[in-house]
Amino acid sequence: MDSPFETDLSNGTHRPTVEEYMTRDVATVSADETVESVSRRIIESDDYNGFPVTDGRYVEGFVTARDLLLEDPGIPLFKVMSEELIVAHPEMKVTDAARVILRSGIQKLPVVDDAGNLVGIISNSDVIRSQIERATPEKVGKLKRTLETIHDIEANEERRTISLAELTPTQGTVYADELEGREYELERGLAEPLVVIDNGGDILLADGHHRVMAAKRSGISEMDAYVIVLPSRIDLGMARTARKEGLEDLSDVDIVDYARHPLVEVTERFTDDTA
């Protein structure tokens, strides 16, 4: 049986998810509440400048302090709330949520389950907190120990310069706007090392697909890497996944825009015009 950690690495989902960092206890308001009552809640609170508008737990919209400005105090929220909003799924990577927050200019992203019910909210501060916990040598050591335990081997850890032409990707998709950030880092010498596995001469890219693709676009042919060296060739789950997805070299990795991320949706509150 494959290690869950190993399988996650093969799909690029070993990074923290929204579910791990979102706030679960979310204050909400209903569409029937008035501008005055919600404005008072915002004024009296140090923590809120807006609320999800829900029917039970189903998300109908979102209202911010800005939406309430200069509105008649007695009118209900459904007349002023935003009815179309970006929401995230709890399984979405925090890095992707950060991209949405940055590009859209919002401060808080409601998190909904498959039925559209509110399960949490993730803010720009939550994203910052998650980014402090970036990949470290300790996490490389954890991957090494996991591989050793699952496959009953002893592996070595090295620091090595890796040719990008040697790499077999294990993630089939990267995002265009994150590549811009990685190119900025590369130009200033700020890029973190890659994490790769030397599997009997096959060099599998475990972490750093955006960095690698940014380097490729910038004409860089080699990068620094943490290398986990296996004692012999092993049938790794991430290698099987790469073969299944037809990933042989970096030319097989697709670059997409965040707006087409499968776990980002735009909700709309439908009304019956005939009522």
* Six-digit token string for 77: 């929220």
Alpha carbon 74 to chain centroid, angstroms: 40
Mean pLDDT of 146-162: 93
For residue 210, how many C-alpha atoms fall within 13 Å in the half-sphere facing its CB?
Answer: 19
Q: What is the pTM of this model?
A: 0.53
Give CA–CA dist 166/231, Å, rounded. 19
pLDDT, residue 5, reads 35
Mean pLDDT of 177-187: 80
pLDDT at 68 over 90: yes
* Angle CA 109–113–116, to nearest 5: 80
Query: Candidates 3.90.550.10, 3.40.50.10860, 3.30.565.40, 3.10.580.10; correct CATH number of 18-131?
Result: 3.10.580.10
Q: Which one-letter DSSP state was computed for residue 193? A: P
Band of the pLDDT at 259, cuts 50, 70, 90? low
pLDDT, residue 274, reads 46
User: pLDDT (tens digit, 9 = 90+) per residue, 70-121?
Assistant: 899 999 999 999 988 889 999 998 888 888 888 887 888 999 999 999 999 9
Beta strand ranges found along the chain (DSSP E): 50-55, 58-64, 84-88, 108-112, 118-123, 156-163, 167-169, 173-175, 194-199, 202-207, 222-229, 254-256, 264-268
Q: First and final CA of the chain: distance in angstroms?
A: 57
pLDDT, residue 129, reads 65
Q: Which of 23-37, 58-72, 117-131, 258-272 has the lowest mean pLDDT?
A: 258-272
- Each domain of the chain, given as residue ranges in start order, spans 4-13+134-260, 18-131
Q: Which CATH architecture has domain 4-13+134-260?
A: Alpha-Beta Complex (3.90)
Mean pLDDT of 205-209: 91
pLDDT at 167 over 60: yes
Label residue 104 exposed, middle or buried (CB < 10 Å: 0-12, 13-18, 19+).
middle
